Chains A and B, each alone.
Chain A
């Protein structure tokens, strides 16, 4: 009997999660339709406020990042906590799946989902806000949104270890949502905030994405500042490591 290796087992976890997503059509459709509906609302509000087109475009890109990063977080946190509550998480550990394989399997499958979601939502934003970027620029925007989503999934799994049930995830929702809006540099320049708020800003993942987008908006490239660009995947890796280390087997 040949025992499956870590890659095969990670693939089994990812395949299983993707089959679950595919088997749950209403959920998948909602995950696509709701961000699109919110973008549409954003467009209506911007037009009513008379926001000029270049500012609208900038906010549309950040808005896409914001929506997808939030969905990625909430989805993974709830799903992993749900698995714990149902007892399947404990069972797959005893079946022989290891922590790293489980976390990586989740990341792979939800990354596939976030990729599809990112492409669809970005395409809608492109049409709705008349973004006018070329393929290369769109690819750069996508890479940032995508990296941020992966980051947030790892964070979702990390948070899931502190919650005994789905309800206990709820306090984390405003804790992620609100600072992301105010401290990330999306609505106000972080440098203009008091020092303590600037320190706090470093704990909101969206801050790093906004940094990278800053380079993109001013210099036309996400790697205009290699340091801040690499920080996003580096921090994602750290959170991934923490999520793996803290994923508990027993309730």
Chain B
């Protein structure tokens, strides 16, 4: 059975007079997964996201989100997506509840109060519902911003760096939330510049300079990392042997006095940076 991907991008190009922000992006995002757009600042993640939600008109290529062309029919599309921008775009003078309710009002009339209560519980802000935004910490504002994106029923959530500036505990809660969203049938697109978050995704695209460097599962990405066996001798000398060779090498080496043999995995961040470096 062939299922239509939630998002399909083909040879997407976005050029400005002086820079090419997106330089031929092609990807398919399967329905019902958490998809990570990973890359350094300026890689083109936000530009790609703004093209997906129809806020930017591409210079070339094609996009289908839920089989809808965002450049042609963005209003029909926007009824089915939730979008969280990178900047905390909320109304400072209003309370948490008023903000979330206002964004929900664009999508629904009946059951809005219940939906607001549900999403505030989801981001653990029920007890701060009546606090004005300007009285909240940065992490709390980030949570309100996420709630404003997810208050209505949606098929695709497009979240631009939702975890930036969020402390580790809250970040874990966010990812738990994204998984619940996915398990409820939604497709979740998350951009991040933190390589450590790659493992939280079902699939990732690594972007750099407006191009996709790699597009695969985190497990495949990790497998690209070089693995070596590190041998530390009692005399203090250390030797590393690539995993591929260790069956041949070890017997010879083990003839010497060995204290420990460890498998060393290249950190994911190094793998990604190496891949980006190789693309330049």
Q: Interface of A with B (CB < 8 Å)? A: 1-4, 8-9, 12, 16, 19-20, 23-24, 86-88, 90-98, 249-250
For A88, the closest partner residue in chain B by CB is B89
- Residue B176 is within 8 A (CB to CB) of chain A in the complex: no
Minimum Cβ distance to chain B for residue A250 (Å): 6
Q: Using CB atoms, name the residue of chain A closest to B145.
A: A91
Enumerate chain B residues within 8 angstroms of A87, measured Cβ to Cβ: 85, 87-89
27 A-B pairs within 8 Å (CB atoms) are namely A1-B110, A1-B111, A1-B153, A4-B106, A4-B108, A4-B109, A16-B91, A16-B102, A19-B93, A20-B91, A23-B94, A23-B132, A86-B87, A88-B90, A90-B55, A90-B85, A90-B89, A93-B55, A94-B78, A95-B78, A95-B106, A95-B107, A96-B79, A96-B106, A96-B107, A249-B55, A250-B50
The reply on B53 being an interface residue by CB < 8 A is yes
Q: State how many angstroms separate the Cβ of B146 from the closest Cβ of chain A.
A: 13
Query: B56 interface residue, CB < 8 Å from A?
Result: yes
Which residues from chain B contact A98 at a C-beta distance below 8 Å?
Answer: 75
Distance in angstroms between the alpha carbons of A92 and B54 in the assembled complex: 13
> Is B98 an interface residue, CB under 8 A from the partner?
yes
Structural contact, A95 and B103, CB atoms closer than 8 A: yes
Residues of A within 8 A of B94 (CB): 16, 19-20, 23
How many angstroms between the C-alpha atoms of A187 and B9 in the bound complex?
A: 63
B164 interface contact, C-beta 8 A: no
Number of A-B contacts (CB under 8 A): 79
Structural contact, A23 and B93, CB atoms closer than 8 A: yes
Q: Would you call A91 and B106 a contact (CB within 8 A)?
A: no
Q: What is the interface of chain B, defined by CB distance below 8 A to chain A?
A: 50, 53-56, 75, 78-79, 83, 85, 87-91, 93-94, 98, 102-103, 105-111, 132, 148, 153
Known A4-B106, A95-B106, A250-B55; further 4 A-B contacts with Cβ < 8 A: A4-B107, A9-B105, A12-B106, A20-B91
Complex CA–CA separation, A151 to B148 (angstroms):
33
Closest 4 CB pairs of A and B: A87-B89, A12-B105, A96-B106, A91-B89
Query: Complex Cα distance A20/B79, Å?
Result: 26
Chain B residues positioned under 8 Å from A2 (CB to CB): 108-110
Decide: B108 and A3 in contact? CB cutoff 8 A.
yes
Alpha-carbon distance between A90 and B79 when the two chains are bound, in angstroms: 16
- The one of A88, A90, A96 in contact with B75, judged by C-beta atoms closer than 8 angstroms, is A96
User: In the assembled complex, how far is the CB of residue B123 from the closest CB belonging to chain A, in whole angstroms?
Assistant: 17
Q: Which residue of A lies closest to B99 (CB)?
A: A16
Residue pair A20, B109 in contact (C-beta under 8 Å): no
- Residues of chain B within 8 A of A3, CB atoms compared: 79, 107-108
Which of B50, B89, B106 is close to A97, meaning CB atoms less than 8 Å apart? B106
Q: Could you tell me if A19 and B98 are in contact, using CB atoms closer than 8 angstroms?
A: yes
Shortest CB distance B17–A (Å): 15
Task: Report chain A residues within 8 Å CB of B55.
Answer: 90, 93-94, 249-250
**Contact in complex: A91, B85 (CB < 8 Å):** yes
The docked-state distance in angstroms from the alpha carbon of A138 to that of B257 is 105
Residue in contact with B106 in the complex, picked from A19, A88, A92, CB distance below 8 Å: A92
| Structural contact, B56 and A8, CB atoms closer than 8 A | no
The complex places the Cα of A90 from the Cα of B89 at a distance, in Å, of 9
Chain A: which residue is nearest B86 at the CB level? A87
Residues of B within 8 A of A250 (CB): 50, 55-56
A94 touches B83 (CB 8 A): yes
Q: Which residues of the other chain, B, contact A88 by a CB distance below 8 angstroms?
A: 89-91
Chain B, residue nearest A23 (CB): B93
Chain B contacts of A86 at CB under 8 A? 87, 89
Q: How far is the CB of B30 from chain A (nearest CB, A)?
A: 23
Name the B residues within 8 Å of A249 (CB-CB). Answer: 55
Collect the chain B residues with CB atoms within 8 Å of residue A20's CB: 91, 93-94
The reply to whether B109 and A8 form a contact with Cβ atoms under 8 Å apart is: yes
A24–B133 alpha-carbon span in the complex (Å): 13
